[in-house]
Amino acid sequence: MFWRWVEVGINMVFPQPPRCAACQGPLEREGVCLCSRCVGALPLIRGPVCNRCGGPSPCGGCEGSWAFTGLRALGLYEGALQEMIHRVKYDGNRELGLALGELLAGPVREEELLRSCSVIAWVPLHPNRMARRGFDQGELLARGLARQLGRRLLPRFTLIRWRDTPSQTTLDRSARLGNVDGAFRVEYPGRVRGKAVLLVDDVLTTGATCHAAAAALLEAGALRVGVCVVALSHPPRRGGRWS
């Protein structure tokens, strides 16, 4: 602890140049949070994208009807991107969460349905889980994105997860849909009524969680909901199916 304060003191007298939020290496230019080497290692999704599943287009027929219209992902849930998400969620690297949120501005700007949204929300953790973790990674992402886009971030507890649902990771698609059905609620409908809402989440697997959160926003009177996520897990491959 003592040496930590010594370090803080030294940094106040001799400010360090900003470092990459992922590797702590030097940044090549101002106004970015990640170095080009870290960004270059990310499994980004490029080229034409399917609006319903966020996978490469044509995706080979994704199924399911969603409450959200328009979906974009920064990349795939693998390699360096998966590692970064883990470092935000489990190591509490908040700077990295904000940095990933800023990167989301790229895919959002490419899609009119998302670009035109006027307010930003995130898929919230249940308050119990947030208390345990001390922060909500979705909020960090949304904050970074809002900063980058110059869009308004809806205040905390506008959209809430009021049912502490069991982890989705071991469930199949239909079980996931049932698991999160009705898990979200809008506490202040006036904040979303008549607005196009951009909903942010870290990982999208079946889409069930984003669907449930978007349904709650629509029920509260949102005009429409677009979704952007950092990573797609199991995206439909060409000729494959959304599992």
Binding of Zn ion at residue 232 (CB under 5 A)? no
- Identified binder of Zn ion from the candidate list 42, 45, 49, 50, rule CB under 5 A: 50
The type of residue at 35 is C
Nearer Cβ to Zn ion (6/23): 23
The position carrying tokens 């370090």 is 7
Q: Which is nearer to Zn ion, 25 or 92 (CB)?
A: 25
Minimum CB–partner distance for residue 227 and Zn ion (Å): 13
Select 52 or 143, whichever has its Cβ closest to Zn ion: 52
Span from 13-21, 136-144, 158-166, 208-216 in contact with Zn ion (CB under 5 A) = 13-21
> What secondary structure does DSSP assign to the chain, as a single string?
-HHHHHHHHHHHHSPPPPB-TTT-PBPSSTT-SS-HHHHHTS-B--S-B-TTT-SBSS-S------SS--EEEEEESSHHHHHHHHHHHTT--HHHHHHHHHHTHHHHHH-HHHHT--EEEE-PPPHHHHHHHSS-HHHHHHHHHHHHHT-EEPPTTSEEE-S-PPPSTT--HHHHHHHHTT-EEES-GGGTTT-EEEEEEEEESSSHHHHHHHHHHHHTT-SEEEEEEEEESSPPPTT----
Q: Does 35 bind Zn ion (CB under 5 A)?
A: yes
Distance CA 197, CA 117 (A): 5
Q: Which stretch binds Zn ion (CB under 5 A): 33-41, 106-114, 119-127, 216-224?
A: 33-41
Q: Is residue 197 within the footprint of Zn ion (CB under 5 A)? A: no
Is residue 45 close enough to count as binding Zn ion by CB under 5 A?
no
Contacts of 210 (CB under 8 A, 6+ apart): 66, 68, 71, 123, 199, 201, 204, 227, 229
Binding mask 206-225 for Zn ion (x = CB under 5 A): --------------------
Q: Which is nearer to Zn ion, 103 or 120 (CB)?
A: 103
Q: Which is nearer to Zn ion, 35 or 146 (CB)?
A: 35
The nearest distance, CB 65 to Zn ion, in angstroms, is 12
81 to 120: interface string for Zn ion, x by CB under 5 A: ----------------------------------------
Nearer to Zn ion, 50 or 120 (CB): 50
Which of the residues 53 through 82 are near Zn ion (CB under 5 A)?
A: 53, 59, 62
Binding positions for Zn ion, rule: CB under 5 A = 20, 22-23, 25, 35, 38, 50, 52-53, 59, 62
